[in-house]
Structure 1
Amino acid sequence: MSGAFLHTLFDILAWLAAAAAVYWLSRRGLQFPSQSFALPYIATLVFGAGLGAYLFGSANLWLSGQSGIARSVEGGLAGGIVGIELYKWSAGVTVRTGARFALPLALGIAIGRIGCYLAGLDDFTYGTPTALPFGHDFGDGVRRHPVQLYESAAMALFALAYVVAVLNRNAFTITNGFYLVLAYYGAQRFLWEFLKPYGTLIGPLTLFHLLSLSVLLYAAFMLATAPKARRLQKESLA
């Protein structure tokens, strides 16, 4: 099987896992804000995520001295956040609407990154050369950090911790799960960026270092200003 086919296959699996996560959460009796399933909300989310994915992915490619068009998971995440915040501001929506997306996001990235790993050199998500025994040769004779798998494992651990929190009816984690996954994702992605061969933008920092910090700071602000989570009652979340 070609790398492109495997990448597409795991992209599909990631979306299916995300959908399954949404269904699983709904079966737990949790009621998330209805605004996050409104058609204008979803349309804005898709548009913002798509624009961000291609904008940041392509910009990173060019900064790294390569031509072409590329997509970025983190770029899509950032674009979706900006799009939704602008939509909420223009529509006068004041409730926090991202809670239902915490587990789908973590699972989607965990599975999708496996596809990036299997895509090989063409995907340009591999790591820098390493002498460590678990370095991977993508076909050119150079052993590199399999950073895609590092990120996949990290996000899978978050997904597992989140599931445990849901089963234990942890109100703070369920209510603020989206910002928790953003903070976690931004922090771990910032670290992995030091193991990638991307062009730098400011000192040793790449475009994705700066984007990771932005995601992390946004999440930290939202968590710091989060309303106190109320105890879950009658197996539901208001």
Structure 2
Amino acid sequence: MGGAFLHTIFDIAAWLVAAAAVYWLSRRRLAFPAQAFEMPYIAALVFGAGLGAYGFGSANLWLSGQSGIARSVEGALAGGIVAIELYKWSAGITVRTGARFALPLALGIAIGRLGCYFAGLDDFTYGTPTTLPWAHDFGDGVLRHPVQLYESAAMALFATFYVATVLNRNGFVVTNGFYLVLVYYGAQRFLWEFLKPYGTLIGPFTLFHLLSLSILLYAVVILATAPKARSLHERAAA
């Protein structure tokens, strides 16, 4: 099978698993904000994510001395966040609406990155050369860091943590899960960017270094102002 075909298969799998995660969470009877399923909200999310995916993906490609159009999951995440925050501001929505997306996001990235790995050199998500024993040859005879697998494993680890806390009815994690996954994603993505052959923008930092830090800092600020949450067991007993 060709790399592009495998990438598409894993992209579809990522969406299906993300949808299954939404369904699983709904069966846990968790109190997620209803606004996240309203059509204007979804429209803003899709528009912002699409614009960010292709805008940041293509910009990184050009900064790396390559031509063409590319898309980026981190760009989609950043674009979606900006679009939703603008929509909430314009609509006067003050509740935090991202809680239900924590697990779907983590699982979607974990599976989607496998597609990037199998896509090979054409995907431009591979790592820099290394002599480590798990280095991978993507087809040009150069052994590289399989950074796609690093990120996939990291996000799968977060998903495992999140499921465990949901099963334990941890109120803080359920309420603030989206911002926790953003902190975690931003931190691990920032590290992996040092192992990628992307063109730098400021000093040793690439566009995605700066984007990762922006996402991380955004989430930290939101978490710092989060109200204390009781466990869901305590709520039920109250």
TM-score normalised by the shorter chain: which range applies? over 0.9
Structure 2 gap segments, 5+ residues each: none
1-side partners of 2:87 and 2:227: how far apart? 21
Q: How many pairs align?
A: 236
1-side partners of 2:229 and 2:52: how far apart? 31
Aligned positions of 1:80-229 closer than 5 A: 80-229=80-229
Task: Give CA-to-partner distance per residue, 1:88-142, whole Å, 9 cap, x none.
Answer: 0000000000000000000000000000000000000000000001000000000
CA contact (8 A) 2:10 2:112 kept: yes
1-side partners of 2:6 and 2:231: how far apart? 44
1-side partners of 2:234 and 2:169: how far apart? 11
- Residue 233 (structure 1) shift: 5.0
Aligned positions of 1:64-75 closer than 5 A: 64-75=64-75
Instruction: Could you list the structure 1 runs, at least 4 aligned residues long, displaced by more than 3 angstroms after superposition.
Output: 233-236
- Residue 234 (structure 1) shift: 8.6
Task: Give CA-to-partner distance per residue, 1:28-59, whole Å, 9 cap, x none.
Answer: 11120000000000010000000000000000
CA contact (8 A) 1:30 1:235 kept: no
Structure-2 residue corresponding to 1:26: 26
2-side partners of 1:130 and 1:57: how far apart? 25
Letter in 1 for 2:48: G
Structure 2 length-normalised TM = 0.98
Letter in 2 for 1:160: T
**Percent same amino acid among aligned pairs?**
83
Structure 1 length-normalised TM = 0.98
Structure-1 residue corresponding to 2:48: 48
